[in-house]
Structure 1
């Protein structure tokens, strides 16, 4: 799979007319004064959507080296079990309204149905669940799996009554300008793998705290073809990161609980590689969300 992703990215760069620097002669952009848009930053690492990481024996799991969530700590978190004619996979999502869940396009892509697990601190014991067909998916029309562009989807659900453990996460207000959030602490949660090498994994909702980094810093790892204004990145340290099973889950600002990202990709080198983790930037798609959901 990594080979396919690398090949696909190479084709994307070639078709875009982007010169690929020889690895034997690395060029530090800051040493050569050029217009940033004239020569895009060439990536040092290849991103991969967590859903596409090597499969483990179970779809259960947690964020690598994360902390166990307490009952009701993340009432907006849902688990998403997708089904298709070719198999099934697990993702996360965020409740943004009584009838709406926000997740990643690479989670809904190819699925025929999804079962939504609400209030599931223990993933296999949700307090409520609903199954809906793909006719209830609103996947971004311009989603591009090669360069991971527009990785965002909405799921229309049956009406859900809020409780202390089931409620929506606030979205950023619609605005003409937003903070980059760089330097601020954010919280990611989900049911992803406990480690890259895991063969048997936990069945508990977990979370991690991380610092948001600038897109310029993130481009130093993944390049400017991947890291665009629609992406937000966090730094990962001590092998703590989002991973397989966390796709589509929330990234919220620690200071006010506002949803600022949707889990999108990690490095193909692994979730414990300490490379930045990437998310779909919610503020960039605020108008799209409002247009398609009314929220």
Structure 2
């Protein structure tokens, strides 16, 4: 009987589950806390080099008035960092994992507006009012968005809301179009950095099937938006929650919320993932 079993297995093709590229889900432990500590120390130094987004260029103050940095005080202790986008005088949107992961829970957050530095300057408002999407999954970062509520802030040249897609723009996939990501995160994996301002980078939106082939169908769903990072440009550690915006007829529209990069790092040449804003418009509008 044992011989027959062995012979039958020899004639069969044995298939193994495909190994997909893992994404980083322990954001605060692996990225946010270390990056916040690095920036705090760097800003305190005379030779502040302001690590920022990978492969981008410095952004002048007021170039992205919807961009807001986040300093998150964690219930487990320590401070982490993220980005967000201003949607109104009292509401911002960010990634849900900026507030809650499998290992960390936010306790309060300082929203930093109109500043090129995260730990000093600008307009700063503290809040504990963060609402996560009801279907947010901490293990694969599906539906990775959240709404932050703050005390009313007045708009000026350096503080202004970004528009949400409407009309025809609601039905676009944006594949093949260029969009701009903005963030306070690193400009490269590890090592020193040499930039002194909030950074921006232009990225190309790609088909979701390209991303699915790399990260798998559990991570990439219809409400995911991916961008090409060939040439080692894109979002990096600390950029989570920040905006991906698309310009149309001189108006900027928010089309993505920075969600994940490969666990191998932001310079691995693998796509970056965003929460696709058009998939959540009803949920967002009901809260702003």
Pairwise same-fold verdict (TM > 0.5): yes
Larger radius of gyration: 2
Paired residues of 2:58 and 2:196 also in contact (CA < 8 A): no
- Residue of structure 2 equivalent to 1:104: 95
Q: How does 1:29-68 map to 2 (within 5 A)?
A: 42=18, 44-49=20-25, 51=28, 53-54=30-31, 55-56=34-35, 57-59=37-39, 61-68=51-58
Runs of 4 or more off by more than 4 Å in structure 1? 49-52, 174-177, 199-203
Q: What is the CA-CA distance between 1:244 and the residue it aligns to?
A: 1.1
Please tell me whether residue 83 in structure 1 is matched to residue 73 in structure 2: yes
For 1:247 and 1:171, the matched residues in 2 are separated by: 19
CA 1:146–1:179 in structure 2 vs 1: closer, same or farther (change >3 Å)? same
- Normalized against structure 1, the TM-score is what? 0.80
Counterpart selection for 1:157 from 150, 154, 158: 150
Root-mean-square deviation (CA), in Å?
2.2
Paired residues of 2:82 and 2:239 also in contact (CA < 8 A): yes
Q: What is the CA-CA distance between 1:200 and the residue it aligns to?
A: 6.1
CA 1:238–1:128 in structure 2 vs 1: closer, same or farther (change >3 Å)? same
CA 1:21–1:207 in structure 2 vs 1: closer, same or farther (change >3 Å)? farther
Please tell me whether residue 74 in structure 1 is matched to residue 69 in structure 2: no
Q: What is the CA-CA distance between 1:283 and the residue it aligns to?
A: 0.5
For 2:132 and 2:72, the matched residues in 1 are separated by: 14
Please tell me whether residue 179 in structure 1 is matched to residue 167 in structure 2: no
1:20-66 Cα deviation digits (max 9, x unpaired): 9537xxxxxxxxxxxxxxxxxx5631122554545355146311222
Q: How does 1:283-294 map to 2 (within 5 A)?
A: 283-293=278-288
For 1:61 and 1:51, the matched residues in 2 are separated by: 17
- Residue of structure 2 equivalent to 1:39: none
CA 1:175–1:120 in structure 2 vs 1: closer, same or farther (change >3 Å)? same
Please tell me whether residue 118 in structure 1 is matched to residue 110 in structure 2: no
Paired residues of 1:178 and 1:283 also in contact (CA < 8 A): yes
Paired residues of 1:43 and 1:224 also in contact (CA < 8 A): no
CA 1:177–1:125 in structure 2 vs 1: closer, same or farther (change >3 Å)? closer
Paired residues of 1:58 and 1:201 also in contact (CA < 8 A): no
For 1:257 and 1:229, the matched residues in 2 are separated by: 23
For 1:68 and 1:209, the matched residues in 2 are separated by: 12
For 1:127 and 1:170, the matched residues in 2 are separated by: 22
Paired residues of 2:186 and 2:193 also in contact (CA < 8 A): no
Please tell me whether residue 258 in structure 1 is matched to residue 253 in structure 2: yes
- Normalized against structure 2, the TM-score is what? 0.82
Q: How does 1:224-243 map to 2 (within 5 A)?
A: 224-243=217-236
Counterpart selection for 1:207 from 200, 208, 231: 200
Matched residues, number: 254
- Residue of structure 1 equivalent to 2:45: none
Counterpart selection for 2:84 from 67, 90, 93: 93
Flag structure 2 segments of 5+ consecutive residues without an equivalent. Answer: 1-13, 40-49
